[in-house]
C-alpha cells in the first residue's frame, strides 16, 4: 500500500549506547524544554525462521513509514503513553522490556519533539487498519531500517538490534 520505498542504501553500523539512570535523568530534565512530548515502541518478535522481526507502520495521513508512537495525554507518564499508543496504532498489547535511547528532532515552526521509546514484546492482539495506521509490516531489521522514512527511526532500530 502507499509509502515510498527508500533506495538501496545499506544501513550503517551504529555504536551501541545503553541508556543508564544518569542519562534517563538528563532526558527527563530535557523533556521540559521540548515543545511536544511523545512515546512509542520498537516492537520485536521472533519470526518463522527464528529470526528477529520489527513492526513498522504506514501512516496514510503523512504517507510515511514509522515506528508506532504518539503524543502524551495531559498528565500521562511516558511508559503508559507508549503502551497506549502502540495498542491504538497496532492493536497489539505489549510488554515493555526496557527503555531505549530517546529521539529529539525539529518538526517545523521552530518546535522540537521528544520521543521516548521502549523495546516491546507483543503478548496479545492483532492489527486492524484504523484512521491513523493502514498497514503494519513485520520485517527483518535491515528491511525495516530501509523502509522507515526518518533517519531517527532508522538509527533507533539499528541501535536496538545491535544490542539484542
Which of 35, 42, 64 is CA-nearest to residue 141? 42
Cell numbers given for 107: 518538526
Residue with the bigger pLDDT between 134 and 7: it is: 134
Among 153, 138, 99, 97, which residue's Cα sits nearest to residue 120?
97
Q: How much is the pTM?
A: 0.80
Q: Is residue 30 part of a domain?
A: no
In a domain, 140, yes or no: yes
Residue 28 lies in a domain: no
Establish if 108 belongs to a structural domain.
Answer: yes
Pairing of strands 36-46, 111-125: parallel
Q: Which residue range(s) make up the domain with 107?
A: 35-162
CATH number of the domain to which 143 belongs: 3.90.79.10
C-alpha cell recorded at residue 121: 514484546
Rounded average pLDDT over 12-36: 57
Tell me the average pLDDT across 126-132: 96
The tally of domains found in the chain comes to 1
Instruction: Kindly state whether residue 10 falls inside one of the protein's structural domains.
Output: no
Res 24: pLDDT: 54
- Considering only CA atoms, give the Rg of the chain: 15
Nearest to 97 by CA among 137, 41, 15, 25: 41
Asked whether residue 21 is domain-assigned, the answer is no
Contact 115, 103 (CB under 8 A): yes
Residue predicted with more confidence, 163 or 78: 78
Per DSSP, the three-state class of 113 is strand
Residue 102 near residue 115 (C-beta atoms within 8 A): yes
Whole-angstrom Cα distance, residue 68 to residue 157?
12
Q: Is 26 part of any domain?
A: no
82: in domain? yes
Task: Please state, in angstroms and rounded to a whole number, the distance separating the CA atoms of residues 57 and 41.
Answer: 11
CA 107 to chain centre: 16
Q: Can you tell me the mean pLDDT for 15-26?
A: 52
Cα end-to-end distance, the chain, whole Å: 30
Amino acid at each position: 500500500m502507499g509509502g515510498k520505498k527508500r533506495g538501496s542504501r545499506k544501513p550503517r553500523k551504529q555504536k551501541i549506547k545503553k541508556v543508564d539512570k544518569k542519562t534517563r535523568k538528563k532526558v527527563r530534565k530535557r523533556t521540559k524544554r521540548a515543545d511536544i512530548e511523545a512515546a512509542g515502541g520498537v516492537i520485536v518478535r521472533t519470526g518463522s525462521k527464528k529470526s528477529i522481526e520489527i513492526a513498522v507502520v504506514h501512516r496514510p495521513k503523512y504517507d510515511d513509514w514509522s515506528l508506532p508512537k504518539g503524543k502524551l495525554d495531559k498528565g500521562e507518564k511516558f511508559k503508559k503513553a507508549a503502551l497506549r499508543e502502540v495498542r491504538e496504532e497496532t492493536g497489539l498489547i505489549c510488554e515493555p522490556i526496557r527503555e531505549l535511547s530517546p529521539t529529539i528532532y525539529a518538526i517545523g515552526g521552530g518546535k522540537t519533539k521528544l520521543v521516548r521509546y521502549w523495546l516491546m514484546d507483543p503478548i496479545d492482539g492483532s492489527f486492524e487498519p484504523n484512521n491513523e495506521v493502514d498497514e503494519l509490516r513485520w520485517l527483518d531489521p535491515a528491511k525495516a531500517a530501509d523502509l522507515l522514512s526518518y533517519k531517527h527511526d532508522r538509527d533507533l532500530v539499528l541501535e536496538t538490534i545491535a544490542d539484542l
